[in-house]
Structures are given as C-alpha cells and as structure tokens.
Amino acid sequence: MKFSQIIKKAGSYLPSLDERKLIHAYDFAKKAHAGQKRENGEPFVSHPVSVAEILTHFYVDEETLIAALLHDILEDTKFTYKDIEKRFGKNVALLVDGVTKLSKAQYPYDKAARKIESLKKFFRLGEKDLRVILIKLADRLHNMLTVKNLPAKRRIRFANETRDIYIPIANLLGIWSLKNELEDLCFECLYPVQYNKIKNKYQAYREEVKEVERKTFEIVGNALEKNNFHANIIEQKNSLFSNYQKFTDNENKSEIFRTLSFDIIVPKVKDCYTVLGILHSLFRPRFHKMKDYIVVPKANNYRGLHTAVFGVNGVPTGFQIMTPQMHRINEFGMLSNIYKVSVKNPRKASRIIKEKTKWLQKVLEIGNELPSDQNFLDNLKMDVFKNSIFTFTPKGKIIGLPEGATVLDFAYAVNPDIGHKAIKAEIDGVSVPVETQLKTGDTINIITAKTPCPHLEWLKVVKTADAKQKIKTFYKKESSDKCYKFGKKLLENELMHYQETRLSKIPETKIRYALDKFKANDLKKLLILIGRGEILPREVINTIFSEEEVLSDKNSLQRKKSARALYSVKIMVNFKDRMGLFRDIAATVSRFNVNIAKVSVQAPAHKSKIGSMEMILEIKELNQLMDVFTALGQINNIIDVHKK
C-alpha cells in the first residue's frame, strides 16, 4: 500500500488529522532505515508502512499511526528515545519504547513458562497504554504475512511463538479479524498438509451451499424489509483453523461444513431483539444455543445476540445480531473507534478505555497474587478466557461469572463480606448449598451468618481467582496451625486420588525433592503453603512421583508402533445419578484426547441413587490424568474420582 493511501484512509475517520506529522514520521523512518532490507529484498521501511496500514482498519488515532511508522527505530537504528521524543512528543516516544521492550523480551526456553511470562509482560505494558499491544499485534501480522521469506527453522519458531503468545492476546482484546488471520497463517506454516486438506474441503463445501446461502439471504432480507428494517446481512466465514479444530474434535464430521453463519447489523439495540423474534418466526430455533451478550458482554467487550436455527433445507444456521458499533468493536477490538473520541474529548476517551479494560487489571491482580505460574495460567483461563454466564441479585443487578462458577463465587463477586458470611442460598426461591454451580438466568439470594465464617475447604469449591484470593487474604490473618491442618488434608486427599497411600508412607527422599523445589524448610512449612493456596497439591504430586510410579500397574504399559507409550489407568468415579451424566463424563474425558478403553457401571440403588463407574483410560502423561480428574470433579453430581 502506498503511503498516500494511508493518509487518505486515516483522514476518512480522523477529521482533525495533521497530515504533516504523518509525512514527517514517514520521512524520518525512511531516513533512519536507509540501506536496510527485508528478507525479500524490499526496503525495510515497507514494513512499518504496512503495519500502519493494518492499523487504519482499527480506526486508531494519529499518535498510534506515527508510532507504528517509527516502531523499529529504537531497535534497528542509531536514533534514541530522546530523538523521537524531541521530534514527535512524549506519548509517541513511550509507545515506541513499549513496542521495543516487547520485541526485546527474552523468554524461557520452556514452552509453558515462555507463554506465561510473555502474557504477563504484554499485560503489564498494556496496562500503561493498550496501543502498545495493538501496534505489536499489527507488526506480528505483517511479519506472518511475509514469513515464507524466512529460513525453515526461523519460520517454524516464529509461527509457534505467534500461536502461543500473539493469538491469545488478540483473542483477549476481541480483535477477531486479526486473530482469525493469524490462526490461518500459523496453521498453513506449521501444518501445511492438514491446511491444504481442510482448505479443499471448505472450498468444496462453499460450492454445495451456494443455493442455501442465496435462499437464506432472500428469506431473511424479505422478512426484515417487510417489517421496515434496513439491515445489513453479512455471511460470517470461519477461519480454516477453526474449521479444522471442529473437524478433529467432532465425531459427526459431516455436520462441520454444513453450518452457516450470518451477522445481521441493525441500527439500534432494541432492534436486535425484534429481529431475533422475526428469525424465530422464520426458522425453528435451537433454544439451548441462544446467548445474550448484549445484556452481559464477554470479558473483552464482545456484544451481540446469538441464536441458532434449523435453516433452509434443515441446514444448521447461526445468526449474530448487533448494532454497527457492536459489529465494529467485535471485528476490530475494544479500541476500535475509541480514539475518534480522543480528538474532541481526551478525558472522555481515557475514561472509556479505563472502563473497557477492567479485565486487564484483573489479569494483573491474578499474576501478582499467585506465585505459581501454573496457578496463574489456570486462573487466567477460568476468569478471562472462559465463556460467561449472567446471574442476578434479588434487586435485579447483573453479576457476570465464568461458566462453572458457584454460589460462593457469586457471593464474593457481590461483596467480600457477604462471601465470608455465606452459609447457604436461595436460587429462584429454592434453598441450595453454597457449593451449587450456577447457570445463566439464576436469581440468587445469599443467606449469611452474623459473623464471618469462611472455610479453607472453599478453595476447592470456588472457581474464580477473585473469590480464591479473598478467602486466602482472610486466612492469612489466621493461625499457621489451621493452614497446616488444611494443607495436610488437601495433600492427603490428592494422594488418595492417584496413589491410594498416606503422607506418612512417602519416603523421606521424595519429600526432600518437594521441599527443595518449593523452597520450604520442612514438611510443616510445605503443608502451610498448600493450605494457604500458594502451592497446588497436584504440583507436589508431580514432583515426588514419576509418571511411571503413578500411571503404571502391572502389564498396564502398552507400546504401539510409531507412537508414544500409553498407560492403561483404571479409575473409579462415584456419582449421584441424573439425566445425561454419562454423556457429560464421556464428553469431558474425550476433550483431553483420552480414550476410554473399557467402562463398567455399578447401577445406583433405587433409594440412594449413588452409583459407581469403573473406567480404563489410555493416558499419555501424568498431567493429562490430573486434568481429567480436575474436569470430572467439576461435573454436577460427581461425588469422587480416584485412581483404582
């Protein structure tokens, strides 16, 4: 793209754009990078120009465009921070410096540690100014678009880094267009055979459904026009990578490419609900698929009404209904168009950004409070990445929570004092214990004691990092003796899950491994740390036992040709019977790519409705088994899960 086109595009949404400043930045970048070439032989300045062009699609402000043109100056030229500040101002210099710090960040070789530390660094720099992250994402996108020019090893490393770090960030910011493009570029680079296979299948599918698409446009368009709606209907095309994921995870593969999806853009919020009714009058709805992200947006501010129907010729069809502003933010992220406000009212823009990035402070709190990197990542997945439900207080206030959240999570979200005093609750008038999992639409009335009465056992019940941290903070004021007793209980329970042994039976040499790793002077100190929630029991299990010790029984190790060894692990699941429980168990196990080799069920007695299920699972590694145990334990009506 020519630089003049960038000025034209930016001027279309920034009426007060100072073209001279952009031209000055371009000339300065051209001079600074003179003589430098990219891998394909082009002048280096073509890269920052391309990054700036990408950012015009996000409707960014003037400072961001200037910083994009200058973002490689500090790293690749002789010019300094003061040079940029003198010519372009402090804000631009800070943005360029932030991008440079992200570029120079050195992360551990270990994949998991690299991912965690990268995310933390992004969040810390983003807290100061989210535009730093936006520029870096645009920089990465352009580099991925030209990654074919790199040697094979660098190309693979670059794609892996993009997949592990940049795509999760784009997802968190809600920049779907950029996220999808990065996913497909990584997919093509890392798995070219699978990429071409899915690409060919998808292209064949597009030919098959052309007539269905046309009829859908016609039926919906005519109905909206008849009701005097001037709506814009856009077919939503999923990325090839998302189709590949569905194709590999779903048993009914023929359905994957038969699903259509459309965005319907209407002028006002109230119109969204009217259009929803019109769609349900045209097609038979699948009510369990309906989501209201207008009332309760996702953590990254995604908003819209979602519904799914049996469409033309019975083809599964999804509709996302939203206003133009929602659509723009959903496609290009939470910062899209906000900086237009900054032209006229910088203070208002600052308030809007602060409000829309509350989740970022939440992430930083998780990172600061949890010393264990695994704790950080687990809680990040639960609090930020997981889908939301929305619940209500008796007065009608909406409380957004992650799926799987309990009454206690709700109580702590309302007020820490209410959480500490919670003893039970009423959901829609029905009395329930505090461990009860919530679902969208529940109205919860918390019944409290007169004095605070939190239990350390609640740490195993609550799902959000916010609730966990408030319980831990309360107990940090309590005696070490209580934490020691609870930590011992937690570790004993975990041992029974995997080894059916007691702590006193563990050899001293193995205990010493754990003490050294977690920097504990003695076993009591280690158990206190567990009781305070600073160390997970599963981390201790991972330290003191090898995979073979936990997973192997006599004759259980199966070796398959050209494949990693699989451990046949027998587990026992005790449950309280309910409709659909076995389906949920099977779906949960398969989610972790674990095969159920054999299953037998002890039917529950009629009166107690308590039964047991014995399963033989084919496990690759200990962490896989631990993940399965954790997930099974979160299913409603599961009483206990342990290795037999």
Q: Which active-site residues does the annotation give?
A: 75-76
> Residue 318: enclosing H or E segment and its boundaries?
strand 316-322
Give the Cα-Cα-Cα angle 556, 562, 565 (nearest 5 degrees).
25
Please answer whether residues 434 and 406 qualify as being in contact, where contact means their C-beta atoms are separated by less than 8 angstroms: yes
538 C-beta neighbours (distance < 10 Å), count? 20
The residues facing 595 across adjacent strands are 618
Rg (CA), the chain: 27
User: 273: how many CB neighbours lie within 10 A of its CB?
Assistant: 14
Contact assessment for residue 591 and residue 561, using Cβ atoms and an 8 Å cutoff? no
Evaluate whether 584 touches 608 at the Cβ level (below 8 Å): no
CA nearest 54: which of 134, 169, 110, 146? 134
Q: Categorise residue 533: left if φ over 0, alpha if ψ from -120 to 50, beta otherwise.
A: left
Please give the span between the terminal C-alpha atoms of the chain, in angstroms, as a whole number: 64
Q: Containing H/E element for 566?
A: strand 566-576
12: helix, strand or coil: helix
* CA 329/CA 123 separation, integer angstroms: 20
CA-to-CA dists, residue 636 to 106, 582, 639, angstroms: 43, 11, 9
**CA triplet 308, 312, 313: central angle to 5 degrees?**
115
